[in-house]
Structure 1
Amino acid sequence: MKIQAKQVMLNGQLFQYRETGEVSAPPLICLHALSRNAASWDEVAAVLGQKYRVLSLDQRGHGGSARAGLYSFELMCEDLLLFTDALGIEQFTLLGHSMGGTVSYLFAERYPSRIERLIVEDTPPPYLDTKIEIPPEPSEPLTFDWTVVPSILQQLNEPNPKWWEDLPEILAPTLIIGGGATSHVPQDKLREVCDLIPACELVTIEGAGHDVHSSKLEAFLEVVKKFLKFDEAI
């Protein structure tokens, strides 16, 4: 399945994304984790692109997208809104991992009518817990803007309670995929999220860890395809 790298201007800033599948197919947008980029979804897109128009976005500060200097989950949420509007996409399936998963929750809370289905990989919205120490900037060259790290970790340390309070506002059928006991994410938090979203299913892939779609690709795709009714006519 051919993957094309493309660019789009959003609010005066250049963003890069990767596209797979037919333009006429139902849209599915993928959001990556902190320090990753859109290419981290390539193996998933190669399969889902058989029936979907898969669009994997380099979020601000990552990959080929703008080093904006300002970073937050809310800004990334607005980037996604601008991205879908720029491409003329009114309703779509949204798939997010880790940082991208939190952006996905926020978007689905703010714009519930835009989401056809929601899939979140091994992350709850940020919650009050032990403080995360912000590490020093590494000396070696990076493929992303380091400023993203302290910005996002600060939000993890001081989460907005509305991110949890508004989970019942998510109207779309939702799938949360947990990585099991080997993930650093407390799996009971995923259950709490699932219980707050009206139409939500939690599936745990034991032994996958946090990077489920990388470590257990086939199992991940099996769960996602079942949720999307992939083998039925779209």
Structure 2
Amino acid sequence: MKLSFKHYPFLKGTENQKSIGDIIILHGLFGSSKNWVTVAKALSEFGSVYTIDQRNHGDSPHSSEHSIKLMSEDLEEFFTDHQIKNPILLGHSMGGLVAMYFDFTHQGVLKALVVQDIAPRSYPFAYDNEIQSMLFPLDGFNSRTAIDQEMAKYLPDTFIRQFLQMSLDRLDTGEYRWKLNVAGLNQARRVFDHPFPEKIFSNTITLFILGGASEYITVKDKLLIQETFSHLTMVSIPGGGHYIHYTHQKEYLENLLQWFQNQQQKENT
């Protein structure tokens, strides 16, 4: 599948500064490349950055099939089409699962891996409220405020509603539509159920950046991460939840950029 993407060229700070390589960012479920503009611009100081819309999200094509394996295959096709070799892959949530799957099944291909707030295991599809808040017909709605009020009947969390509405598009006719393939995602409820091969292990240089108060990461998960990744740095942002790149952006970027600076320094020594 040919994926939509945004490209942020390498902006070297000094004449002698070298690119660390291509950096690819994979969003989470219900997200898109639009969610990662600030992070992409910050990382473009280290290399060329691509933010990808995964299948059934953003401006990428819709499909009745949606799985971690298929999204990894889409990513491999993207690398081939754009002649990307040995990239650094950053994935959040669903994107983190895709990034880990790609790493497990393509040993030695990635230069480095960054995983945000997700562990290499199965997860339940606990998004009924999100799905229901987007399934009602949009015919007759003439403002985002009215749509938000209807969504609130199913999804009281204002932050999550605003996040979902980043994928709400207004057509030239004035009508609204979801860029997300809501029906398709509703049918893909096993997408996080045993997403990986039976044996998982990685020698890739890896950063896990976690929310200290996240419901997605347990003490057992941290042990699993330590057992799975042999070249691991793991940092936790106190009080942070699943969306630390939004809610704790300052701390998130400080940790992320420091890790990239460390990788860059290692290359130059």
Alignment of structure 1 residues 211-222 onto 2, 5 Å = 211-222=243-254
Pair 1:51 & 2:18 matched: no
Alignment of structure 1 residues 17-32 onto 2, 5 Å = 17-22=5-10, 25=19, 26-32=21-27
**One-letter identity of the residue aligned with 1:46:** K
2-structure distance, mates of 1:79, 1:138:
26
Task: Compute the TM-score of the two structures, normalised by the length of structure 2.
Answer: 0.73
Shift of 1:70: 1.2
**One-letter identity of the residue aligned with 1:144:** L
Equivalent in the alignment of 1:80: 75
Evaluate the alpha carbon distance shift between residue 131 and residue 215 of structure 1 in structure 2; reply closer, same or farther with a 3 A threshold. Answer: closer
Equivalent in the alignment of 1:4: none
Pairwise CA RMSD? 2.4
- Equivalent residues of 2:117, 2:217 under 8 A apart: no
SS at match of 2:3: strand
Pair 1:34 & 2:29 matched: yes
Evaluate the alpha carbon distance shift between residue 194 and residue 126 of structure 1 in structure 2; reply closer, same or farther with a 3 A threshold. Answer: same
Evaluate the alpha carbon distance shift between residue 124 and residue 148 of structure 1 in structure 2; reply closer, same or farther with a 3 A threshold. Answer: farther
**One-letter identity of the residue aligned with 1:126:** R
SS at match of 1:154: coil
1-structure distance, mates of 2:44, 2:127:
39
Shift of 1:177: 0.9
Structure 2: where are the runs of 5+ without partners? 12-17, 139-176
**One-letter identity of the residue aligned with 2:91:** G
Equivalent in the alignment of 1:71: 66
- Equivalent residues of 1:194, 1:201 under 8 A apart: no
- Equivalent residues of 1:29, 1:55 under 8 A apart: yes
Equivalent in the alignment of 2:168: none
Equivalent of 1:202 in 227, 234, 238: 234
1-structure distance, mates of 2:135, 2:206:
37
**Structure number with larger C-alpha Rg:** 2
Size of the aligned set, in residue pairs, is 216
1-structure distance, mates of 2:84, 2:125:
38
**One-letter identity of the residue aligned with 1:203:** V
Task: Compute the TM-score of the two structures, normalised by the length of structure 1.
Answer: 0.83
Equivalent in the alignment of 1:159: 194
Shift of 1:131: 7.0
- Equivalent residues of 1:20, 1:46 under 8 A apart: yes
- Equivalent residues of 1:178, 1:190 under 8 A apart: no
